[in-house]
């Protein structure tokens, strides 16, 4: 009878597992930095964000409300046009 732990690790599969685990961990550590860079790039440009509710859409620029669209007040094309005008 032999114990699996006494066998040398010769297979490619066994050697590649620690490398994959390390690559995954480094990617996880890098992800918050990527998110922060993306957020800073968007906030510098003054991008407009949309809070979409069931009836009202609130348009914000840097946490400041800049407009509101009532999607039940008119037809879809009128609402789309109002959205285009407010974003510009």
- Sorted by sequence, the CB contacts under 8 Å of residue 87 that are 6+ apart come out as 48, 59
pLDDT at 38: 83
Q: What is the pTM of this model?
A: 0.44
Average pLDDT over all residues of the chain: 79
pLDDT at residue 14 is higher than 60: no
pLDDT tier at 19, thresholds 50, 70, 90: confident
60 neighbors 51 (Cβ within 8 angstroms): yes
Q: Where are the domains of the chain?
A: 14-45, 46-88
């Amino acid at each position: 009878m032999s114990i699996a732990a006494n066998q040398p690790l010769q297979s490619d599969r066994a050697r590649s597992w620690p490398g994959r685990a390390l690559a995954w961990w480094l990617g996880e550590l890098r992800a918050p930095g990527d998110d922060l860079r993306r957020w800073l790039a968007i906030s510098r440009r003054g991008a407009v964000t949309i809070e979409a509710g069931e009836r009202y859409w609130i348009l914000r620029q840097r946490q400041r409300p800049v407009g509101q669209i009532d999607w039940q007040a008119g037809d879809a094309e009128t609402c789309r046009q109002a959205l285009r005008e407010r974003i510009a």
